Structure 1
Amino acid sequence: MGSWFLQTGSGARFDWGPAGAQRLAAGIACLVVVDVLSFTTSVTVAVESGTRVFPYAWRDESASTFADEMGARLAVGRRMATSASPWSLSPTALRSAPFTPRLVLPSPNGSSIAAAAGESMVVAGCLRNASAVGRWLAQHRYGTLDRPVAVIASGERWPDGSLRPALEDLLGAGAVLAALRKQCGGPLSPEAAAAADCFEATPDVVTAVTSSASGRELTGGGFAGDVDIATELDVCDIVPILTDGAFTAAG
């Protein structure tokens, strides 16, 4: 199918979901995964507390086996959290749960995107740490022609399993790309520049995410607190990087 999809000639690139990550992975030095509601938001909350977060792509019995192998606690689905197992994908739950040094966080989208990066550096970005991620990328010369970066908006899934582009992830990815553009000026691909422009042109990002389809879904399901945490713009200076299979804070 040629190489037109690689967005070559640009230091910063943008695409959607695991398939987009897999397509861009061959030509990059770093991949930033953005899943605002809620994988990468939850990663920042956990890593802020000192927890090592192991992403895992499946929410089935194999996740429990993997957690045992890693000597880690297993995060369960939002509605499955109990007093005995209080860790879940909910950032609100993670804030109130007891500290655990190691946590397995299943996420079919976020984990699959991270796995698609191969040997490239993987960073977890969201609205909470977008400026910090942009600064870190620029400091390490990611986003240049010599060290291209791909920022991947995770998106959600329709019932048939196909990708549903999600506004919150477009804005989260755009926030990271806008911050990187301010630091190093580009060159951004047209796709990446459009995502950055979308973020900068949104007058009220908090309201946009809260009122989005995903925001309304979580709020209607009783998880408005997760949306509140996900829209804490630039409150976090932590840059989680994937090292030895787990997200930890960049030094």
Structure 2
Amino acid sequence: MISPYAQTPYAVRCDWGPIGADEVGPGTAVVAVVDVLSFTTTLTVAADQGIEVFPYRWRDERAAAFAAEKNATLAVGRSEVGPAQPVSLSPSTIRAAHGVTRLVLPSPNGSTVARRLAETGATVIGVSLRNARAAAAWTARTLPSGAAVAVVPAGERWKIDDSLRPAIEDLWGAGAFLQGLLDEGLGGLSPEAELAAAAYRHVSPHLRDALYACASGIELAGYGYPEDVEIASEVDSSTVVPVLDGDSFRPVPV
């Protein structure tokens, strides 16, 4: 029996986090990973600068060796940034970086989902509010006839038990991409995908304020990183799509 959670009757599917990715990803041609605060926002900022990005597991002691093996810069935690290690998951550090051409980017959510999806055989792309429309246009142009698309809002993790916290900013980012697919003439959205698109349409007139007001936005600003929220709110400012090729995302202009 086909899993009822796989949404296989629909051409466009949507579900949350690593487990949701395992359900809706297999059998699709393109999977969009959405982690607005901050993995895919940082990824799109890097793509705008032509940087190749290697997603990596969060808090893995082998990350430094992996970066050395790939001749890449390792992004550290936000609180670890300093003169010797100026680049972190914060998109503002990527924007300010000079001479970075390859980057290892650990992340507890989006990076984990991306690596997991790469094993399904689907083409994995990084989507944020910054490049949602460009990513939808690229998907509509490259999607084989009759093929399916999956969208995975990564969500966050509860500190108390590491369970999934559905993060509304990722719902909005997924919805922005899904609305872009609708605008490109692609239909067949599952009810879950329809909900995400509707959520984006509802919030779009005041999206910047909503990002600052949501739990993740308050958290980041409270920790001293309001610029991360500001960069995340740059809706459709990017025309580059990060496409996972092997073990790295490479920027593809649209």
Please show how residues 102-113 of structure 1 align to structure 2 within 5 Å: 102-113=102-113
Matched, 1:44 2:40: no
Partner of 2:126: 124
Q: Could you tell me the TM-score, scaled by structure 2's length? A: 0.95
CA distance in 2, matches of 1:107, 1:58: 5
Equivalent residues, number = 249
Partner of 2:115: 115
Give the superposition deviation at 1:209: 1.0
Give the superposition deviation at 1:30: 1.2
Asked whether the equivalents of residues 15 and 153 of structure 1 are also in contact (C-alpha less than 8 Å), the reply is: yes
Asked whether the equivalents of residues 51 and 251 of structure 2 are also in contact (C-alpha less than 8 Å), the reply is: no
Asked whether the equivalents of residues 31 and 149 of structure 1 are also in contact (C-alpha less than 8 Å), the reply is: yes
Give the superposition deviation at 1:61: 1.4
Stretches (4+) displaced over 6 A: none
Give the aligned residue type for 1:49.
Q
1:39-63 CA deviation, whole Å, 9 max, x = no partner?
Answer: 0000011111111000001323111
Give the superposition deviation at 1:141: 2.4
Partner of 2:190: 189
| Runs of at least 5 residues in structure 2 that lack an aligned partner in the other structure | none
1:70-115 CA deviation, whole Å, 9 max, x = no partner?
Answer: 1111000011011111010000111112231110000121122112
CA distance in 2, matches of 1:59, 1:105: 11
Partner of 1:207: 209
Quote the sequence identity (%): 48
Give the superposition deviation at 1:2: 4.3
Asked whether the equivalents of residues 73 and 102 of structure 1 are also in contact (C-alpha less than 8 Å), the reply is: yes
Distance 1:2 1:185, change over 3 A: closer
Please show how residues 113-152 of structure 1 align to structure 2 within 5 Å: 113-117=113-117, 118=119, 119-141=121-143, 146-152=146-152
1:180-224 CA deviation, whole Å, 9 max, x = no partner?
Answer: 111024111111011001101123111111100000001011100
Of stretches 89-98 and 166-175 in structure 1, the one that deviates more from structure 2 is 89-98
Q: Could you tell me the TM-score, scaled by structure 1's length? A: 0.96
Please show how residues 233-244 of structure 1 align to structure 2 within 5 Å: 233-244=235-246
| Runs of at least 5 residues in structure 1 that lack an aligned partner in the other structure | none
Paired residue for 1:220, among 215, 219, 222?
A: 222
Give the aligned residue type for 2:174.
A
Please show how residues 148-163 of structure 1 align to structure 2 within 5 Å: 148-159=148-159, 160-163=161-164
SS in structure 1 of the partner of residue 54 of structure 2: strand
Of stretches 7-16 and 172-181 in structure 1, the one that deviates more from structure 2 is 7-16
CA distance in 1, matches of 2:101, 2:115: 22
Matched, 1:18 2:22: no
Please show how residues 54-69 of structure 1 align to structure 2 within 5 Å: 54-69=54-69
Give the aligned residue type for 2:17.
G
Partner of 2:5: 5
* TM-align CA RMSD: 1.3
Give the aligned residue type for 1:110.
G
Give the aligned residue type for 1:47.
A
Matched, 1:231 2:233: yes
